[in-house]
Amino acid sequence: MKPAPPSSEFTLRDLEGLGDLGFWRFPAGSKTLVWSVGAFPIHRHVQLEEAILRCRAEGASFDLEIALSSENGNQRWIRVTGRAGEDGAYGEFRDVTEWKRLSLALDGAQMACWEFDGSLEQFCWDPRMFALHGLPVSTGAIPFSRWRSLLHSEDADRVEAEYRRCFAEKRDLDIQYRVRLENGSVKHLSTRAKGFLGAGEASSRISGVSWDISDVKTVADGLELVRASQLESAKFVALGEMAAGIAHEINNPLTILLGRVELLTKRIEAGIEISKEEVLRTAKKLRDTIFRVEKIVKGLRAFARVGDQDSFFTTRLDAIIGDVLDISRERFRNTGIELKVECPHTVSILCRPVQIGQVLLNLLSNSYDAVIGTEKPWVSIEVRTEGGRVFIAVMDSGSGIPLDHQARLMAPFFTTKPIGKGVGLGLSIVKGIADSHGGIFFLDKKSPNTRFILDLPIADAARLGHRVSSQSA
């Protein structure tokens, strides 16, 4: 049996106030359509008029969302429902303009909205949320366990932990994760939400929006591959420019090594007696020379390989700087550029050592290009610590960066070098490495000379539990 309509205008107004609704009724045998609030402009919408007439005549229930335009041009959306009773037709209406505008905005942005009830451990999804997960639209709630089963196995624990934290602490949620669809494909989603306290004291909820970022992720992954390739190119360009100096750095000790071996051989062939002390002294010099060459070769091998997948571990900064100097010092010496280094032996950082070395190698290469051929050229590396941070400054005798170039320094492919001398990737790559290490890379605009600073956190080896590199400069 269908429920009877409200019995009086007082009741209608009362219900409207309590439920934020408007009501209407069309009594049997009457030609007057009664609205609880003023007169509804039904003549403006033929579909609604037909639905009300059919509801009273045939008992056909309806649920319509109609758009109306006012005289000033503003558009509003009204949701009207109707059903038949024993003495005619009746129903309710609600202004859903704000919700409709939000829905249209979400449609335009291809976003889905949802709400999570923590006490019931279930979601309420809009149709777009079902589509994001490759599921048919359903009116029922989605259990948390069901949704978790859709998450990528590598993301599930992390995502659940973030949701639980948002739920428990009433905090914001901003997370990206993957879901696996029934056809086996993977979709990348981004979610932003806010936890809040519901109507009941123990009722906590999360309300949020989600959207598909698969295309963005694909592009980002592609850009990362390009960036990695560019990093390799820039790195080998720097090593190539230093090749002559490196060859000289290796050739000198090899010449010494060959000379001592030949001298020793000739003395033996001539039957000249050699004391044990002299043999040991010569052997020690040969060993030291070999170690010197080995150190240079190790440095070259380290900088020539990809380091972006290396683990972070605590390393002495002076050791990293020493490795860089081993393969670059001779280049500066051969061209008359003074290279000054000031670094304490007690500073360690949590890093990928190869990448930090690549940063320094890049900055030294830029400084070299900037000051070569100038009067009394010099380049310096200065390290200082302050407040748990270490500041690595690479400065040269250049007169600074022109003001109109400073804003674009970190942009990919921007370069002030002549054609053929650089592709403008160095500083953008340095900034990316600094960001990945929780650091900051910037130009010191107050310095009268060209001075770049890499700001990194100092490692606390005892607290972090990472091993300290035993390398030394």
DSSP designation for 43: G
**Mean residue pLDDT across the chain:** 77
pLDDT tens profile 102-152: 777 777 778 888 888 877 888 888 888 999 999 988 877 889 999 999 999
Q: How confident is the model at residue 384 (pLDDT cuts 50, 70, 90)?
A: very high
**Beta partners for 93?**
22, 80
Instruction: List C-alpha distances in Å: 80 to 34, 56, 283, 374.
Output: 14, 15, 99, 82
Percent pLDDT > 90 in the chain is 20
Contact 118, 205 (CB under 8 A): yes
Tell me the angle at which helices 317-334 and 243-269 cross, rounded to the nearest 10 degrees: 90
pLDDT at 164 > cutoff 80: yes
Q: How confident is the model at residue 254 (pLDDT cuts 50, 70, 90)?
A: confident
Dist. CA 17–CA 40, nearest whole Å: 18
Nearest to residue 319, comparing CAs of 294, 356, 267? 356
Average pLDDT over residues 155-181: 88
Give pLDDT, residue 177: 93
User: Which runs of consecutive H residues, i.e. helices, occur in 153-275?
Assistant: 156-169, 214-241, 243-269
Sheet architecture: strand order including 75-85: 34-35, 22-27, 88-95, 75-85, 62-69
Dist. CA 336–CA 353, nearest whole Å: 29
- Show Cβ contacts of residue 360 under 8 Å, excluding neighbours closer than 6 positions: 320, 321, 324, 381, 392, 394
Q: How confident is the model at residue 454 (pLDDT cuts 50, 70, 90)?
A: very high
Average pLDDT over residues 255-260: 76
Range name among 124-138, 150-164, 353-367, 417-431 with the lowest pLDDT average? 417-431
CA dihedral 24, 27, 33, 35 (to 10 degrees): -30
Contact 451, 394 (CB under 8 A): yes
Rounded to two decimals, what is the model's pTM?
Answer: 0.43
Sheet architecture: strand order including 440-443: 338-342, 378-386, 389-396, 451-457, 440-443
Q: How confident is the model at residue 426 (pLDDT cuts 50, 70, 90)?
A: low
Instruction: List C-alpha distances in Å: 119 to 147, 173, 198, 203.
Output: 16, 19, 10, 6
Find tokens 């380290």 and name the residue: 302
- Show Cβ contacts of residue 380 under 8 Å, excluding neighbours closer than 6 positions: 339, 340, 341, 342, 393, 394, 395, 396
Average pLDDT over residues 36-62: 77
End-to-end CA distance of the chain: 91
Handedness of CA 131, 137, 142, 148 (dihedral sign): negative
Cβ count near 210 (within 10 Å): 22
